[in-house]
Structure 1
Amino acid sequence: MPRTQRNDNFIDKSFTVMADIILKILPTNQKAKEAFVYYRDGMSAQADGEYAEALDNYEEALRLEENPNDRSYILYNMALIHASNGDHEKALGLYQEAIELNPKMPSALNNIAVIYHFQGEKAKEAGQEDDAENLFDKAAEYWKQAIRLAPNNYIEAQNWLKITGRSEMDVFF
Structure 2
Amino acid sequence: MPRSQRNDNFIDKTFTILADILTQILPTTKREREAFIYYRDGMSAQSEGEYVEALRSYYKAMRLEIDSYDRSYILHNIGLIHTSNGKHAKALEYYFQALERNSFLPQAFNNMAVICHYRGEQAIQKGDLEIAEAWFDQAAEYWKRAIALSPDNYVEAQNWPKIT
TM-score of Structure 1 vs Structure 2, range by shorter chain: over 0.9
Letter in 2 for 1:82: H
Instruction: Pick the structure with greater CA Rg.
Output: 1
Q: Which residue of 1 aligns with 2:19?
A: 19
TM-score (norm. length: structure 1): 0.92
Structure 1's 33 and 137: CA in aligned 2 closer, same or farther, altered over 3 A? same
1:25-70: per-residue Cα shift (whole Å, max 9, x none)?
Answer: 1101111111000000000000111000000000010111011110
**Correspondence list, 1:71-82, <5 A:** 71-82=71-82
Distance 1:8 1:163, change over 3 A: closer
Equivalences, count:
164
Equivalent position amino acid for 2:10 in 1: F
User: Counterpart of 1:113?
Assistant: 113
State percent identity of aligned pairs. 62
Of residues 151-160 and 133-142 in structure 1, the stretch that sits farther from structure 2 once superposed is 151-160
1:1-173 mapped onto 2 (5 Å cutoff): 1-164=1-164
User: Which runs of at least 4 in structure 1 moved beyond 3 Å after TM superposition?
Assistant: none
The Cα offsets for residues 95-153 of structure 1, whole Å up to 9 and x where unpaired, read as 00001111011110010000000000000011011110110111011111111111122
Give, in angstroms, the shift of residue 12 of structure 1. Answer: 2.0
Supply the distance in 1 between the matched residues of 2:50 and 2:120 (Cα, whole angstroms). 30
**Equivalents in 1 of 2:108, 2:86: separation in Å?**
16
Aligned-residue CA RMSD in angstroms? 1.0
Query: Could you state the TM-score of these two structures normalised by the residue count of structure 2?
Result: 0.96
**Match of 2:31, as an amino acid?**
K
- 1:93 and 1:84 mapped to 2: Cα distance? 14
Indicate the residue corresponding to 1:167 in structure 2: none
Task: Identify which range, 13-22 or 133-142, moves more after superposition.
Answer: 13-22
Question: Cα offset for 1:7?
Answer: 1.3
Structure 1 position 9, deviation (Å)? 2.9
Moved more, 81-90 or 147-156: 147-156
Aligned mates of 1:11, 1:157 — CA distance in 2: 30
